[in-house]
Chains A and B, each alone.
Chain A
Amino acid sequence: AQKITQTQPGMFVQEKEAVTLDCTYDTSDQSYGLFWYKQPSSGEMIFLIYQGSYDEQNATEGRYSLNFQKARKSANLVISASQLGDSAMYFCAMREGRPKRGSYIPTFGRGTSLIVHP
């Protein structure tokens, strides 16, 4: 079963508008961390934002915020005031609190391709 599900293969947004990228996760651990990464066409993976399962406030980093709904097991990324440079692949990832196979191995979703139109 997928631990991280990103249901939107592709998204389009107009420049300066906000966009939400969906992510749902599956874990039986009480303690875990959720991450979002950006991958531009050049290929490098850029860490954007982190949310801990015990954090009461939604995480924010500049124009990025994470809409964390623990009961629904969702961790959607919200990008406000989209810019042309936001066009990229976006990956949601989870790191569970209990080691699996001796390590806290991150699990990634399949990604969402975001295109920002001028």
Chain B
Amino acid sequence: DGGITQSPKYLFRKEGQNVTLSCEQNLNHDAMYWYRQDPGQGLRLIYYSQIVNDFQKGDIAEGYSVSREKKESFPLTVTSAQKNPTAFYLCASSNQGALHNSPLHFGNGTRLTVT
């Protein structure tokens, strides 16, 4: 079955450490996205990528970094510069070629707790 896999499901880190969240898709989708979700805030876009080796900042990119070396993979690094990293992180992909009628497909999310 095609889908998006995020790992790990839960992640605990000490303050000051960088941490990388994994996102892999086998849907052959061109576009991939990272969202952050906080209670009562909905989904906020961190980074997105339309094609391999290209990515763009979203609305809250500060303190985060990404790479897109393969079509299937879009890992997110939460750096020590991110002031409030504890949150639920969702990765998504879509068939960009279908334009505005293409829904996002989401992974199951990673809950990051930094103490």
Which positions in A face B, CB cutoff 8 Å? 9, 31-33, 35, 37, 42-47, 50, 52, 91, 93, 95-97, 101-106, 108-111
Residues of A within 8 A of B111 (CB): 43
Closest to B101 in A: A33
**Chain B contact residues (Cβ within 8 angstroms of A): what range?**
20 to 34
What mask results when residues 100 to 115 of chain B are scored 1 for a CB within 8 Å of chain A, else 0? 1111111111010000
Give the docked Cα–Cα distance between A87 and B94 (Å). 26
| Contact assessment for A103 and B48 in the assembled complex, using a CB-CB cutoff below 8 Å | yes
Closest to B105 in A: A47
Q: Is B25 an interface residue (CB 8 A)?
A: no
Which positions in B face A, CB cutoff 8 Å? 31, 33, 35, 40-43, 45, 48, 50, 56, 58, 88, 90, 92, 94, 96, 99-109, 111
Give the docked Cα–Cα distance between A58 and B8 (Å). 39
Residue of A35, A43, A110 touching B103 (CB-CB under 8 A):
A35
Q: Given A44-B108, A44-B109, A91-B43 in contact, is the A103-B50 Cβ separation under 8 Å?
A: yes
Interchain nearest-CB distance for A58 vs B (Å)? 16
Residues of A within 8 A of B107 (CB): 44
| Contact assessment for B48 and A105 in the assembled complex, using a CB-CB cutoff below 8 Å | yes
| Contact assessment for A111 and B42 in the assembled complex, using a CB-CB cutoff below 8 Å | yes
Residues of B within 8 A of A37 (CB): 104, 106
Residue of A97, A105, A109 touching B45 (CB-CB under 8 A):
A105
A-B contacts, 30 of them at CB < 8 A, read: A32-B100, A35-B104, A37-B104, A42-B108, A43-B90, A44-B107, A44-B108, A45-B90, A47-B103, A50-B103, A52-B100, A52-B101, A91-B43, A95-B99, A95-B100, A97-B100, A102-B50, A102-B56, A103-B31, A103-B48, A103-B56, A103-B96, A104-B100, A104-B102, A105-B33, A106-B33, A106-B94, A106-B104, A108-B42, A110-B42
